[in-house]
Structures are given as C-alpha cells and as structure tokens.
C-alpha cells in the first residue's frame, strides 16, 4: 500500500458501499463493495474487502449465524489492519475498534444468545468530506 493510494478519494462505488454499510444495509453493501473490490487492481482493494467482510459479519449476526459472523470478523479485521489509522478518508482505526467490540460481544454471548446482541453496537464508518467531490 502506498501513501499516495491512501491519500486519494475513494471510488464512488466504494463510497456507495460505505453509505449502505452505515444504513445497516449489510447485504447490499456486500454486493456493492464486492463490485468495487473486483474492479480495483491496486492494493487498496483489500480495504474494500475488509469493510465488506465486517459488514457481512453484522449480516451474519442478524441471521443468527455465530460461526459465519466470527469468520467474517476475523477475515475483515485482518484486511483492515494494514490500512490503519486511515485510508482514503476512512477512519480505519475506529472501524477496527468498533468491529472488535462487536466481535467480542458476540463471542461473549455465544451462539445461543447471539440474538441478544444490541444492534446499536454495529460499527459506522467515518469518512471525512472531500473538498473536490466524490471519487471516480
């Protein structure tokens, strides 16, 4: 990952996926970010993949799939760590911290009590505003 890549504005499709993520549209964000991830040839594609996997973890929690949630949190966090503290205006460090908090709570509750997890704990992605508009 180059610093130049992280200094750039995210592509508009990636921003759309982030917006869906923040609205709790986890299935939709997966579809959008997967398209952005597949279209991206640079290493920043792993940032998009990490975000979509954290979103999928939240989706799996909603579905009561504890093993699926655990697997997606681990994969997503692994992808995100190399982009901390921030990349393309995304506060990656905060996303990691928030995702770890949800992952830890899901682990504490376990498969039988996963339905008790407070959905208000689901992460939101902070993206700084760009003075020159949205990405390409």
Cα-based distances in Å from 23 to 20, 38, 51, 55, 124? 5, 23, 14, 11, 8
Percentage with pLDDT > 90 across the chain: 85
- Tens of pLDDT, residue by residue over 15-59, are 999 999 999 999 999 999 999 999 999 999 999 999 999 999 999
pTM for this one?
0.91
Domain count, the chain: 1
- Tens of pLDDT, residue by residue over 64-103, are 999 999 999 999 999 999 999 999 999 999 999 999 999 9
pLDDT at 11: 87
CA angle 89, 104, 111 (to 5 degrees): 125
**Is residue 50 classed as helix, strand or coil in its secondary structure?**
helix
The reply to whether 134 falls in a domain is no
Residue 21: give its domain's CATH number. Answer: 1.10.3450.10
The reply to whether 30 falls in a domain is yes
The reply to whether 135 falls in a domain is no
pLDDT at 121: 97
């Amino acid at each position: 990952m180059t610093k130049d890549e992280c200094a750039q504005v995210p592509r508009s499709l990636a921003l759309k996926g982030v917006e869906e993520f923040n609205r709790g549209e986890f299935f939709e964000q997966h579809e959008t970010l997967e398209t952005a991830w597949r279209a991206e040839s640079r290493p920043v594609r792993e940032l998009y993949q990490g975000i979509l996997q954290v979103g999928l973890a939240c989706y799996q929690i909603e579905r009561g799939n504890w093993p699926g949630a655990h697997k997606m949190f681990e994969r997503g966090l692994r992808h995100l760590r190399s982009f901390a503290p921030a990349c393309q205006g995304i506060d990656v460090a905060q996303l990691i911290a928030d995702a770890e908090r949800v992952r830890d709570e899901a682990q504490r509750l376990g498969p039988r009590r996963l339905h008790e997890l407070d959905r208000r704990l689901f992460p939101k992605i902070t993206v700084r505003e760009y003075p020159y508009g949205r990405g390409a």
